[in-house]
Structure 1
């Protein structure tokens, strides 16, 4: 099923090396892939042999097993190895050594000897880890491809993914007529995802459809090792159930490797070496041994290596992770590991907060996004472990600046703060500060009722505690809320109090926020000179500390005020500088607000289509965060005024078309257009033409001719019909179809058809040639 890219890569490796080892987790499909390679290449060899070593336990018998498989009998005084070499030397041979992991050293020794002695021999090995032979090339076989989480796919697009395809095929064999529908699509995709795209697990799950619906199967998946037990009787026992297969891998580990394999199951997502050293050491594992043990688990395919930016991280498939949790020494060990896990990530958050207002801000922003699953697990531990709720509340509150706000994770921030506030009623400074943080998030989401309640509670508690710093922060939150609602006079008064209190308390980033918020409020009240002084002071503090995120917001406010003064050139420069400074952060609200401001500026400059596209881009960017660029009352007024002018100048249809074009831009292309950088999707403004519908930019690997053939395949034409329609040889058509399948990683014409349909639904072209964009028009069918 699928694997065409893997097949292409194996062929490439075979051109480099005579020994290619396919590695990967149990059940991932190494054997089937090796068999398919062998089947496709049998004409290139005089003989192709499969040697199944799964049932062999004695490494001394490997040579005899291989010899017996290829028909060499021990009927002379020669050694089995000598006889084997002579037999292999007589012909060009492809030897597949399957399931080498439990006999790794013996397999490596035999492969090395045979390759040295037989020049025309090629070997494909399958193993949980590489053989370690000089000249060996390793290819890790990944689980089957699956749709990304939280991504809605059009039409039959889910069927383009090999993992979903496999489930559907096996399900149809068990339940005739089973197919993907709108009702079961989400459950099918989630099921395949929960099974990590492991073919064996997917096949075992499909068998259960005899008795369960997909939804019921998904619900019972928490007990996957009890559920997925109906394997084929034709395979070796260890491959008949998921539990037996994983246990086989586990038993091949050394004692210390087993211990670490079990302990890293505490990590809910990908993790780094520092985390393993902090959480999993002690009681048999020394810190200096962790790197070697991690390397061993990677080599045995029990951990996956991933690169996130410039960081190397590790991940355990969920199927393996659940098995590892079952191997921990009871609830006491799980609790100990969970506490150490919480402690490690709490220390990480404390470091992030200490360094947040400075040049390391972007680094910490990216790091905390990577650790999001662990931060959730740490707070969940605090909720359920007696006596830890206060620590959890402090952690949730500390995440306000470096995680909840710059990512616009307002709902998630409120979720954790609300849950932890409920179980920590004590009158503490942590609670007072958390109430203010919760209020700010509520105001940002346009929920003033909850915001007013929380800020009132926070201020009352801060007064009771006589904590001037938290009182100043409460004033900051209340002042921003008033500014946001359009009550700039009240905002100015409250923000002045906040700025004075924050300056006295030695606050850094909160003071910068207070100054630029006060500057914005004063500016809307008409005192642009005072506003400029406040904004300059805010910028100076941020620049002195090397801060970027808040500075991008300050620059945006400066841009809006420059536009209000009629200085469009200065305003555009500041708005674009705001985007450049803040583009490393995924603050969709900040990005969308800058684009909205650029729309106002472009409208003032008479760039009508560009302004409409920018408004559309702002809407699209903010929509992905569940926000609106018009989150301030004043912004809504500016927007309405500009849109009315554009509709009057452009007409309804032209305006709406340009708005849709901007809304379809990807985030990167929207930012590129706002900055004036080249982008794939551009209108024709400035050339005296009406802007055209912009295609969603997405590169296609197909050539112009291949895209034509793909289009005809989607119409149900056979190779012979395509050859006749395009007036090309049948053999040429077959070659093009094979290239299309290889490039797209598909194994059926139906997948090509679904791919073409999905790209049309997304407004994308199917070919590389710029002259070939849009719909491919096929020749008429032959009569």
Structure 2
């Protein structure tokens, strides 16, 4: 979908975790700046409330941005080169594009006024400045709001320094502390009798919101007067005389350090070890990475609950999985303690090895009933996977990076991250110290696989040989692999691809990649048969693909079997059956987050509904299809001239409806939000899908 109509709402802003307090003057200033300026940067130290203020301002501004208000969280991003990928992901643009990704993002964001919120830019400052400058130049409707500990430093940037909250007894600092104290201790109430003590606590903490929130939680164990005494007697645990800090930073670190001091030794140890995660973690990850020494894996869940109670850790429950995260300032504090404990390197390696294991587990189980779970799990762990890959790439031995980036072939190829995967694979391969080993062959194979969609045909032509090497290393049967033919087929060069296409061969056993290529062989065969109008044979091959996938409980490739069975049904005059099967394909593609596949199936539904005589519905579906292709950043599979039925049915719909009705129906389809679009396309089958 276009950026202006994503998700049934205008943008991707998360729900606010608790009530927003104060900052009326700042909010009014930001509203004025966003109305007049194109780049607004909120600056200030960590913990002063930049992110929360920006999020509240973005919420307040939503009505003025019909193109959406989009949050891009950058705190977990370690590689500046992935900044544009993060923007594409946040704004729901597939990476599967033949053009430079920044160009595709710019086109994706164009069309209506919209606001891009870049949160936590200071560690990727130069790349942020470069990308923002290019986007502002290419997208006139775009406004950008950034949060950073220092300015982006580019022309046209308007700065707002976020100060601590005012400290008077009737001011925002007291109001925030009281609100958070009441949430932590429901019996607490701000009264005239205790207001002076609350104001003194706020003054001791300089009105820094994060410090106030951490201190408010301490009321669970301290009366208010004791809380004030404790703050007065504490000092910044990590400040070195040789490295003096700004007073505001010292105050914040004093508050965090005091929370740290009030934790048990095991809670402190877990806090330090959790700092190696990026973006969040689940219980299994914490147990694997953080256990050891005095900390047993069986204790970690209870300790996580305790750290959550103390507001060190935030618990997130989306109904399907429970994950945890820490604020960056809190994480940084833990990371310094981890370094002080001498455990930093060991924990980074354990984190790396856990995500290597996760990648291998996902590969082994991808072609099975857990496919949707793995697509969602790896999407949630994306920041940690990136961190693990960077750790592998920094190691003197090249094999871990080759193995990890190669093992993730299914994530790169099927879940919409081909460009990112290709870049990581190229970095891993460039460091390889020897050719021919299993890890090197795996990475070569994965790299060639992700070139089936991009234009690098010469690279794609070596995938068969690369896979033969891999199969020989693993002592697997070697089927004939049609990857060169597939690369040609998706460009519409059916004649050349038919010549290069080989027989399906026997399905190898025991390796996810080998099974995948066996299934891909059938998919390419069905594609070529459809291009030759051999619909009965196409249906037979498509049905075999469906059955082979059904035996494994597999969704992603089975949906391509549904696609070809439906396509053959149109060719054979079975339009009702074609609609039903295409809807099954679309639902499956949506479940595993394959937006490119969903766009291809939407095209098929246009043809199927038109074949049934549902001309106006077909025209609306054509609008949905165009929007999906725009999001994917690709033309239709093959050139538009060779896409089966596409040109014929557009011509037929124009003739049946007339130019005006046709244009209106297409526009209505294109402007639907994804939930409504999917419901229309699936005809009631969308219940239970995560929209």
TM range (shorter): 0.5 to 0.7
Superposed, which structure 2 residues align to 1:433-582 within 5 Å? Answer: 433-444=442-453, 447-448=454-455, 450-453=456-459, 455-456=461-462, 459=465, 475-497=481-503, 499-500=504-505, 503=508, 507-582=514-589
User: Does 1:237 find its partner at 2:242?
Assistant: no
Query: Are the aligned partners of 2:542 and 2:565 in contact in 1 as well (CA < 8 Å)?
Result: yes
Query: Are the aligned partners of 2:559 and 2:588 in contact in 1 as well (CA < 8 Å)?
Result: yes
2:672 corresponding residue in structure 1: 665
Separation of aligned partners in 2, 1:268 and 1:519: 42
SS at structure 1 position matched to 2:505: helix
Choose from 220, 240, 243 the match for 2:150.
220
Pick closer, same or farther for the CA change 1:466–1:276 going to 2, 3 Å: closer
Greater Cα shift, 671-680 or 516-525: 671-680
Query: Are the aligned partners of 1:262 and 1:324 in contact in 2 as well (CA < 8 Å)?
Result: yes
Choose from 426, 429, 446 the match for 1:418.
426
Query: Are the aligned partners of 1:407 and 1:586 in contact in 2 as well (CA < 8 Å)?
Result: yes
User: Does 1:380 find its partner at 2:390?
Assistant: yes
2:39 corresponding residue in structure 1: 184
1:278 corresponding residue in structure 2: 288
Once the two structures are TM-superposed, the CA of residue 215 in structure 1 deviates from its matched residue by 9.2
Superposed, which structure 2 residues align to 1:108-507 within 5 Å? Answer: 169-170=25-26, 181-185=36-40, 187-188=41-42, 197=51, 218=148, 220=150, 235-239=202-206, 241=248, 242-330=252-340, 332-387=342-397, 389-401=398-410, 403-424=411-432, 426-428=434-436, 429-444=438-453, 447-448=454-455, 450-453=456-459, 455-456=461-462, 459=465, 475-497=481-503, 499-500=504-505, 503=508, 507=514
Query: Are the aligned partners of 1:432 and 1:458 in contact in 2 as well (CA < 8 Å)?
Result: no
Once the two structures are TM-superposed, the CA of residue 266 in structure 1 deviates from its matched residue by 0.8
Pick closer, same or farther for the CA change 1:558–1:340 going to 2, 3 Å: same
Deviations 1:596-629 (A, max 9, x none): 1010122223322111110111122333333344
Once the two structures are TM-superposed, the CA of residue 380 in structure 1 deviates from its matched residue by 1.0
Separation of aligned partners in 1, 2:399 and 2:298: 34
Once the two structures are TM-superposed, the CA of residue 355 in structure 1 deviates from its matched residue by 1.7
Aligned length: 514
Pick closer, same or farther for the CA change 1:564–1:378 going to 2, 3 Å: same
Choose from 593, 603, 607 the match for 1:596.
603
Query: Are the aligned partners of 1:438 and 1:451 in contact in 2 as well (CA < 8 Å)?
Result: no
Q: What do you get for the CA RMSD once the two structures are aligned?
A: 4.4
Choose from 674, 677, 688 the match for 2:681.
674
Pick closer, same or farther for the CA change 1:332–1:385 going to 2, 3 Å: farther
Pick closer, same or farther for the CA change 1:532–1:219 going to 2, 3 Å: same
Once the two structures are TM-superposed, the CA of residue 652 in structure 1 deviates from its matched residue by 2.5
SS at structure 2 position matched to 1:408: coil
Pick closer, same or farther for the CA change 1:605–1:364 going to 2, 3 Å: same
Larger-Rg structure: 1
Separation of aligned partners in 1, 2:580 and 2:606: 13
Query: Are the aligned partners of 1:559 and 1:575 in contact in 2 as well (CA < 8 Å)?
Result: yes
Pick closer, same or farther for the CA change 1:334–1:577 going to 2, 3 Å: same
Query: Are the aligned partners of 1:167 and 1:192 in contact in 2 as well (CA < 8 Å)?
Result: no
1:701 corresponding residue in structure 2: none
Separation of aligned partners in 1, 2:650 and 2:50: 48
Pick closer, same or farther for the CA change 1:298–1:561 going to 2, 3 Å: same
Pick closer, same or farther for the CA change 1:200–1:189 going to 2, 3 Å: closer
Pick closer, same or farther for the CA change 1:465–1:615 going to 2, 3 Å: closer
Separation of aligned partners in 2, 1:409 and 1:346: 18
Separation of aligned partners in 1, 2:575 and 2:279: 47
Which structure's relative contact order is higher, taking Cα pairs within 8 Å and 6+ residues apart?
Answer: 2
1:746 corresponding residue in structure 2: none
Pick closer, same or farther for the CA change 1:228–1:335 going to 2, 3 Å: farther
Once the two structures are TM-superposed, the CA of residue 495 in structure 1 deviates from its matched residue by 3.4
Mind listing any 5+ residue stretches in structure 2 that lack a counterpart? 58-118, 121-128, 130-143, 153-160, 169-201, 208-247
SS at structure 1 position matched to 2:322: strand
Deviations 1:490-517 (A, max 9, x none): 43443325x3275599732321221122
Query: Are the aligned partners of 1:408 and 1:587 in contact in 2 as well (CA < 8 Å)?
Result: yes
Once the two structures are TM-superposed, the CA of residue 264 in structure 1 deviates from its matched residue by 0.5
SS at structure 1 position matched to 2:645: helix
Once the two structures are TM-superposed, the CA of residue 673 in structure 1 deviates from its matched residue by 0.9
User: Does 1:651 find its partner at 2:507?
Assistant: no
Separation of aligned partners in 1, 2:9 and 2:552: 44
Query: Are the aligned partners of 2:316 and 2:324 in contact in 1 as well (CA < 8 Å)?
Result: yes
Once the two structures are TM-superposed, the CA of residue 316 in structure 1 deviates from its matched residue by 0.9
Separation of aligned partners in 1, 2:291 and 2:672: 48
Once the two structures are TM-superposed, the CA of residue 526 in structure 1 deviates from its matched residue by 3.7
SS at structure 2 position matched to 1:575: helix
Deviations 1:256-276 (A, max 9, x none): 211111111111112111111
Once the two structures are TM-superposed, the CA of residue 538 in structure 1 deviates from its matched residue by 1.9
Separation of aligned partners in 2, 1:633 and 1:504: 38
1:691 corresponding residue in structure 2: none
Once the two structures are TM-superposed, the CA of residue 176 in structure 1 deviates from its matched residue by 13
Mind listing any 5+ residue stretches in structure 1 that lack a counterpart? 1-146, 207-212, 681-697, 699-783
Separation of aligned partners in 1, 2:685 and 2:565: 26
Separation of aligned partners in 2, 1:366 and 1:548: 13
Deviations 1:241-286 (A, max 9, x none): 3323322322221222111111111111121111111111223322
Pick closer, same or farther for the CA change 1:452–1:598 going to 2, 3 Å: same
Give the alignment's TM-score, normalised by structure 1: 0.58
Pick closer, same or farther for the CA change 1:161–1:286 going to 2, 3 Å: closer
Separation of aligned partners in 1, 2:644 and 2:537: 23
Greater Cα shift, 356-365 or 630-639: 630-639
2:237 corresponding residue in structure 1: none
Greater Cα shift, 342-351 or 508-517: 508-517
